[in-house]
């Protein structure tokens, strides 16, 4: 089901668009209310999800207790941050494009049949840092306990994520009904075709530059490294899962670097070093902000967003759509997203997830090459 999520969402949109004249207004209000309810449930469980994912990631990394792990953690943060900052300048260019649509007033649009919201029981930032530090501390002083807790969390998170992902088509459907009813969707597909092209171009231009520079600007060697990564890249595109493509990523990285390094770096970074996400989500965010007529964030505000965004990357699960789910609260709290905007960026992300995953995997190969070059300089 998850591998076919983009196709499923496209079918949902097409069916709703075709049947819209025949769907009673009461049903539309019902599905819109259901979407808002699902969103409230997702936001409610997100702190728990973020805490467990971060705890598991930190416990897994620090349990290896080698100097290179600390090098990896620092390098992952810096690499993700640089990619996110780069996306600001691309996003700024996207914001200047003509994406403005004629949006109705909120009172004139489709209204939900009911209003339901769960209380905010803990902040996502508290859950984020709690998972980060408790995972590190417990793995350092009680590694066996940390390992058992991490395994328990992993099983629970898998079930929870599958449940949440199963709700995504319904979550999107209600908001699509609202967008169609409010006469917003007509120009959206045409407008965002350009954004998809810009995001893909930005991702792979940046990744190619990484391979080019890490191979001492030798184009032949850079292309050879990229060629080695192609089977893993194609596998990620088809499966939309960095974890599913892990064996091929390991083989390719071993060819480009060395066996021992590849077997350490790739499994440790498969869920957390995500160049594709770091470029795609912010650029999509700028496009959505422009679409809904919200102000472009200042660079200082964006830096705050980038900080939380990069830290939250440690809580992303390598499943289709996993990259955007944990980012919704950050988009809402820092950039001012509301429900319709969150549903739109979720749909855009899942549609483009095959390309984003392919970029993540290819970028991880470049990251392993970077660590390889750093080790060579340190040892020499």
Does the pLDDT value for residue 236 go beyond 60? yes
How large is the average pLDDT for residues 293-313?
Answer: 92
Q: Report percent pLDDT > 70 for the chain.
A: 86
Residue 348: its pLDDT value, please?
Answer: 86
Q: pLDDT, tens digit, for every residue of 22-34?
A: 999 999 999 989 9
Structure pTM?
0.75
Q: Which of 274, 341, 329, 276 shows the shortest CA–CA distance to 305?
A: 329
Q: pLDDT, tens digit, for every residue of 203-232?
A: 999 999 999 999 999 999 999 999 999 988
Residue 192: its pLDDT value, please?
Answer: 80
Q: Cβ contacts of residue 346 below 8 Å, gap of 6+?
A: 168, 171, 172, 321, 324, 325, 328
Does the pLDDT value for residue 197 go beyond 90? yes
Residue 223: its pLDDT value, please?
Answer: 95
Greater pLDDT, 247 or 371: 371
What fold does the segment set 2-379 form as a domain? 1.10.3860
Q: pLDDT, tens digit, for every residue of 324-360?
A: 877 888 898 899 998 888 888 888 888 888 899 899 9
CA distance readout (Å), 310 to 23, 147, 278: 42, 25, 8
Compute the distance between CA of residue 214 and CA of residue 253 in angstroms, rounded to an integer. Answer: 14
What is the pLDDT confidence band of residue 65, given thresholds at 50, 70 and 90? very low
Does the pLDDT value for residue 110 go beyond 70? yes
Residue 304: its pLDDT value, please?
Answer: 93
Task: Output 84-89 pairs: Cβ under 8 A, ≥24 positions apart.
Answer: 84/278, 84/279, 84/282, 84/306, 84/309, 84/310, 85/303, 85/306, 86/202, 86/206, 86/279, 87/202, 87/278, 87/279, 87/280, 87/281, 87/282, 87/283, 88/282, 88/299, 88/302, 88/306
């Amino acid at each position: 089901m998850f591998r076919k999520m983009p196709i499923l969402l496209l079918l949902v949109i097409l069916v709703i668009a075709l049947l819209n004249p025949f769907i009673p207004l009461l049903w539309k209000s019902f599905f819109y209310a259901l979407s808002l309810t699902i969103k409230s449930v997702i936001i409610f469980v997100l702190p728990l999800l973020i805490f467990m994912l971060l705890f598991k990631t930190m416990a897994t990394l620090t349990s290896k207790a080698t100097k290179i792990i600390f090098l990896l953690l620092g390098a992952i943060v810096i690499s993700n941050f640089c990619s996110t900052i780069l996306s600001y300048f691309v996003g700024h260019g996207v914001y200047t494009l003509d994406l403005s649509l004629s949006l109705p007033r909120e009172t004139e649009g489709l209204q939900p049949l009911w209003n339901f919201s769960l209380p905010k029981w803990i902040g996502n930032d508290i859950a984020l840092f709690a998972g980060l530090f408790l995972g590190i501390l417990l793995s350092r002083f009680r590694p066996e306990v940390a390992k058992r807790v991490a395994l328990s969390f992993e099983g629970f998170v898998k079930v929870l994520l599958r449940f949440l992902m199963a709700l995504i088509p319904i979550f999107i459907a209600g908001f699509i009904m609202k967008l169609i009813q409010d006469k917003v969707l007509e120009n959206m597909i045409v407008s965002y075709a350009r954004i998809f092209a810009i995001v893909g171009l930005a991702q792979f231009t940046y990744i190619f530059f990484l391979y080019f520079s890490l191979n001492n600007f030798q184009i032949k060697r850079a292309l050879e490294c990229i060629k080695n990564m192609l089977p893993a890249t194609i596998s990620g595109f088809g499966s939309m899962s960095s974890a599913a493509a892990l064996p091929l990523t390991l083989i390719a990285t071993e060819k480009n670097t060395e066996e021992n390094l590849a077997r350490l770096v790739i499994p440790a970074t498969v869920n957390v070093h995500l160049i594709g996400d770091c470029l795609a989500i912010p650029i999509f965010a700028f496009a959505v902000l422009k679409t809904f007529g919200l102000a472009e964030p200042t660079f200082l505000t964006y830096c705050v967003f980038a900080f939380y965004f990069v830290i939250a990357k440690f809580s992303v699960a390598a499943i289709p759509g996993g990259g955007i789910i944990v980012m919704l609260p950050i988009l809402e709290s820092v950039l001012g997203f509301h429900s319709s905007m969150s549903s739109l960026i979720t749909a855009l992300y899942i549609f483009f997830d095959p390309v984003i995953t392919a970029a993540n995997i290819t970028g991880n190969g470049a990251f392993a090459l970077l660590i390889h070059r750093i080790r060579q300089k340190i040892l020499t």
